[in-house]
């Protein structure tokens, strides 16, 4: 039987949280070498015969209590990170900010967004419907008005600085809009930015999307394209996001569901439900 050397990383949300119950469970999986990384993170180095089976077992046991992540040691160090933007690199959903001046419109858009991110609606159709509702909004100073409202997620800047110091390529791939994705790219120092382009006529949003929609499949394609440009094996790629449209890119290499929707938490390779994106460092080194 072929055994795979893996690392199981346990990350608690609070300092010095008692995680003995997790260790007891890991004892039933494999002998291990334990490395305490901080008061909130511990690595257990194990050997397993079937990584996916162990991953499902750990998730079914601990999903709603603590973050327990397993991955092969061989691919732990990453070379490419691709991030979702809305509710990942920033706290908000940009399309809802565009509708800020109309509470009823904002609520209607938020309801569609929630269902789309949960995987209940087709992403392309839901985006077209939401963008159609924005028709007529003044676009003259739209992006400049929104940029100061964007709240970058806690730990994002520190994480990106760390990734850059390791020579890791970074990108934002968003189902949102390119003007703000480019802004976040500049603010964080990312290497690439991809997102949708809204149509404008007579300085007003015309309710249309220009070009190919950046949906889940497009995000996965973009990850592969970036990896190819930099000669990176996609096994060393990691995608981070919160919505169902992030699952395709998570499935290519490794994936982290960041404070994600329930469906995404269940299906993603790993979950992180802490208060800081900086905690991703515990997963990759």
Which residue is associated with the tokens 């003044």?
138
Query: Considering only CA atoms, which of 170, 207, 206 is closest in space to residue 84?
Result: 170
Does residue 144 have an active-site annotation? no
**Selected catalytic residue, list 84, 242, 246, 279:** 84
Other C-beta atoms lying within 10 Å of the C-beta of residue 121: 17
Residue the block writes with tokens 């990759």: 284
Half-sphere CA count of 141, side-chain side, radius 13 A = 2
Pairing outcome for strands 80-83 and 237-241: parallel
Round to whole Å and give the CA distance between 123 and 269. 21
Give the active site residue among 67, 86, 246, 279: 86
CA 199 to CA 38: how far, in whole Å?
48
List, in sequence order, every residue forming a beta bridge with 55; answer none if it has no partner.
none
User: In this structure, is the dihedral angle defined by the CA atoms of residues 186, 90, 138 and 116, taken in order, positive or negative?
Assistant: positive
Residue located via tokens 């908000």: 92
Q: Say how far apart CA 135 and CA 13 lie, in whole Å.
A: 42
Phi, psi of 35 (to 5 degrees): -130, 115
Write the burial class of residue 49 (CB in 10 Å: 0-12 exposed, 13-18 middle, 19+ buried): exposed
- Structure tokens that stand for 109 in this block: 């858009």
**Using CB atoms within 10 A of its CB, is residue 175 exposed (0-12), middle (13-18) or buried (19+)?**
buried
Catalytic status, residue 84: yes
Give the catalytic positions in this structure. Answer: 84, 86
């Amino acid at each position: 039987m072929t055994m795979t050397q893996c690392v199981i990383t346990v990350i608690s949300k609070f300092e010095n949280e008692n995680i003995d119950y997790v260790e007891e469970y890991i004892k039933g999986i494999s002998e291990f070498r334990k490395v305490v990384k901080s008061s909130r993170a511990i690595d257990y180095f194990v050997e397993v015969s079937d990584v996916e089976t162990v991953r499902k077992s750990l998730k079914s046991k601990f999903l709603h209590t603590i973050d327990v992540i397993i991955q092969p040691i061989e691919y732990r160090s990453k070379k490419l990170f691709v991030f979702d933007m809305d509710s990942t690199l920033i706290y908000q959903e940009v399309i809802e900010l565009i509708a800020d001046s109309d509470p009823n419109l904002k609520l209607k858009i938020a309801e569609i967004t929630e269902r789309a991110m949960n995987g209940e609606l087709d992403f392309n159709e839901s985006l077209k419907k939401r963008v159609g509702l924005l028709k007529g909004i003044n676009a003259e100073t739209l992006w400049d008005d929104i940029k100061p409202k964007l709240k970058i997620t806690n730990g994002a800047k520190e994480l990106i600085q760390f990734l850059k110091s390791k020579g890791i390529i970074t990108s934002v791939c968003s189902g949102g809009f390119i003007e703000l994705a480019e802004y976040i790219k500049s603010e964080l120092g990312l290497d690439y930015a991809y997102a949708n382009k809204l149509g404008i006529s007579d300085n007003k949003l015309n309710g249309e999307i220009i070009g190919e929609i950046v949906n889940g499949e497009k995000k996965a394609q973009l990850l592969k394209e970036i990896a190819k440009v930099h000669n990176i094996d996609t096994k060393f790629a990691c995608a981070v996001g919160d919505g169902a449209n992030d699952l395709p890119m998570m499935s290519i290499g490794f994936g982290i569901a960041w404070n994600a929707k329930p469906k995404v938490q269940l299906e993603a390779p790993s979950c992180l439900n802490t208060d800081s994106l900086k905690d991703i460092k515990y997963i990759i080194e």
